[in-house]
Homo-oligomer: A and B are copies of this chain.
């Protein structure tokens, strides 16, 4: 089968690889769509970061690997002992491997397992015609959810999980920094969690226009004094949650300046270096900075439910490319900011 094989930084082959066997408890999927994640970009341009160069403690695999951890597909083969899935089922996959034994796993937090691994980083993933996953990792798509939308479950679950950790007050105001795919996902998630008064702060006019078309209110930090605006808008109380999906000094600084007493700024960005952070602002208002990583089964179920209810809209920010175009139309276009979210169609 054809697959996107990652060998190292800026070294990708779209080539034929053998299909793996389907073991007990596993299923083979014909992959429909596989999204390119910011993590994949980091691997392509600056990796290997998450891709292991030594055998991964849970998967046993290492470089080279088939990329792809955001995907949907159709079950084509069912391994022994699998009773929850049948050939023809349309599914999306929660691509996390966890040890089940560490303090985090025992505490119900497999997303921060000490040995955490990912399908498509720590072992071969979904940028391929087919892939084999544990049946327990597959979630059936509701009938009304397309395979295209289903492939977005993973990033939307990242954002949904992050939105929850901010503990926003539905009657208050929330602030999202960055209108990339995670910022968009945060906006959908906050709305889905009943928070109606959300502002998205984004300096790029293209990205602002894109999220405005989905219905969002935006602020341009190059022309608006965001803390002053929020102070007036909230009668001095500040926002009940802020989300940094931009990962830069200015977003963190502004978010902390807008935060209400005893409220949370959620960090859902890959910070490339330490930032000057005004911790005194946390102390004086008993506020917090909360990191967030991935999602749990519960987040997947919640996002799929919202998708089934027609809550998510891919208009204007998602496009599909052929697997052979992964570098030019995928990595390079995303890195240059020419595209927002790209799904790879392995059948093309």
- Asked if A114 is an interface residue, CB under 8 A from chain B, the answer is yes
Q: Mark A108-120, 1 if CB is under 8 A from B, else 0.
A: 0101111000000
Docked complex Cα distance between A340 and B70 (Å): 56
* B-chain residues with CB within 8 Å of residue A268 when the two chains form the complex: 283
- Asked if A282 is an interface residue, CB under 8 A from chain B, the answer is yes
Most buried by B among A103, A264, A293: A103
Most buried by B among A107, A269, A277: A277
Query: Which chain B residue has the least Cβ–Cβ distance from A264?
Result: B288
- Asked if A290 is an interface residue, CB under 8 A from chain B, the answer is yes
Query: Which chain B residue has the least Cβ–Cβ distance from A283?
Result: B291
- Asked if A51 is an interface residue, CB under 8 A from chain B, the answer is no
Docked complex Cα distance between A103 and B287 (Å): 14
Are the C-beta atoms of B279 and A286 separated by less than 8 Å? Answer: no
* B-chain residues with CB within 8 Å of residue A283 when the two chains form the complex: 267-271, 291-293
Docked complex Cα distance between A277 and B247 (Å): 12
Identify which of B112, B270, B278, B292 contacts A280 (C-beta below 8 A): B270
- Asked if A289 is an interface residue, CB under 8 A from chain B, the answer is yes
* B-chain residues with CB within 8 Å of residue A276 when the two chains form the complex: 274-277
- Asked if A316 is an interface residue, CB under 8 A from chain B, the answer is no
Segment 185-221 of A: residues with Cβ below 8 Å from B: none
Are the C-beta atoms of B284 and A293 separated by less than 8 Å? Answer: yes
Copies of this chain, complex-wide, total 2
Docked complex Cα distance between A104 and B284 (Å): 13
Q: Contacts A103-B237, A279-B267; is A289 near B286 (CB within 8 Å)?
A: no
Taking the closest CB of chain B, its distance from the CB of A236, in whole angstroms, is 6
Are the C-beta atoms of A279 and B285 separated by less than 8 Å? Answer: no
Are the C-beta atoms of B292 and A289 separated by less than 8 Å? Answer: no
Are the C-beta atoms of B288 and A236 separated by less than 8 Å? Answer: no
Are the C-beta atoms of A261 and B292 separated by less than 8 Å? Answer: no
* B-chain residues with CB within 8 Å of residue A292 when the two chains form the complex: 283, 286
Identify which of B172, B260, B262, B291 contacts A284 (C-beta below 8 A): B291
Docked complex Cα distance between A155 and B278 (Å): 23
Query: Which chain B residue has the least Cβ–Cβ distance from A114?
Result: B236
Docked complex Cα distance between A264 and B289 (Å): 10
Taking the closest CB of chain B, its distance from the CB of A290, in whole angstroms, is 4
* B-chain residues with CB within 8 Å of residue A293 when the two chains form the complex: 283-286
* B-chain residues with CB within 8 Å of residue A272 when the two chains form the complex: 280
**Can you give 20 A-B contacts (C-beta < 8 A)?**
A103-B172, A103-B237, A107-B262, A112-B286, A113-B261, A165-B286, A267-B282, A271-B280, A271-B283, A274-B276, A274-B280, A275-B277, A277-B277, A277-B279, A279-B289, A282-B289, A284-B291, A285-B293, A286-B292, A289-B289
A→B interface (CB under 8 Å): 102-104, 107, 109, 111-114, 165, 172, 236-237, 252, 260-262, 264, 267-272, 274-293
